[in-house]
Structure 1
Amino acid sequence: MFFNLFHQYAHVSGSLKNVLSRQIHYITKPIPLLSVHHVLQPLFSDTSNMTKTGACQLLSKKEGQVLEVTIEERMLQLNVYGSYDTETAVFEILRNFKGDLLAIDYDHKRFGWIKPVKERKFV
């Protein structure tokens, strides 16, 4: 359900994109930009800048690995080229900081919560 909503938003235009944008805005919360930037900053040695749209971009290039994080008002985009260790480090930091984030991998059509809610067992 969530995957389809975000996937359609990424691939449509016109009035449908506007409708999907309003739906996404309704079910999402703003991301605390400065707080997320602060907790992720230790992973990034190369560059950190603000874009014209108000998004924050973090970039790190180490030993054949590239890690890029773009933090927008209601979306955090992660691009990793190299090993999964770098991606895992970012997810672990985000899990400890703010666990109610939904991760979506458009290329492999996978998604899941950064910190899943544990199922309660009632006796």
Structure 2
Amino acid sequence: MRHYYIFLLKPEIATSYFGKEHLIYQLLYEGETADTELQEIVKKQINYISAIIPSLQIKKSVEKKLKVRHDFYVLKEHYYIDIKAFESKAVLKDHGNVLTISANGSYQAETIFFEVLRQINSCFFAVDFDNKNYGWLNPIKHVNYI
């Protein structure tokens, strides 16, 4: 099973740390694994770089874009995709300050959720702590000023 934490970072943080994603990952990892005393400080740092998750916008976008799919359903404010043909399942949950996606099987179901979130905001940053994977859902284009 794959489990992703999806944070919405402030635009200025996303721009500043483009190409330095490992630093964001390290901070988020410390937030999950540090001892209690240090964890409180790290959580404050994470809150400082994070933006508020636009829950209503996510709800509207997910439901609008996925309601036509026969393998999509909503149960207790959680969004599910179960693609039987590919043996792919995923659930998207909104925890207020972070989104989570839990997925089994092939990558199709979670990719559908990532695509919807990517279109909402370019500053979503996903982390899979178990497999040490991380990155932007929609890579930020780096602007070069001449």
After TM superposition, is the score higher than 0.5? yes
CA contact (8 A) 1:47 1:59 kept: yes
Q: Distance in 2 between matches of 1:62 and 1:39?
A: 20
CA contact (8 A) 1:33 1:72 kept: no
Q: Deviations over 1:41-74 (max 9, x none)?
A: 3267443325xxxxxx323444243211111222
Tell me which residue corresponds to 2:27: 5
Cα shift at 1:122: 5.6
Cα shift at 1:113: 1.2
Q: In structure 1, list runs of 5 or more residues that go unmatched.
A: 51-56
1:92 counterpart SS class: helix
For 2:80, the aligned partner's letter is L
Report the TM-score when normalising by structure 2.
0.69
Tell me which residue corresponds to 1:94: 117
Q: What is the aligned residue count?
A: 117
Tell me which residue corresponds to 1:49: 76
Report the TM-score when normalising by structure 1.
0.80
Report sequence identity in percent: 23
Cα shift at 1:12: 2.8
1:68 counterpart SS class: strand
1:80 aligns with 2:107: no
Q: Distance in 2 between matches of 1:39 and 1:104?
A: 22
CA contact (8 A) 2:89 2:110 kept: no
Q: Deviations over 1:76-118 (max 9, x none)?
A: 1111112211121111111111111111121221211111122
Q: In structure 2, list runs of 5 or more residues that go unmatched.
A: 1-22
Relative contact order: is structure 1 or structure 2 higher (C-alpha 8 Å, sep ≥ 6)?
2
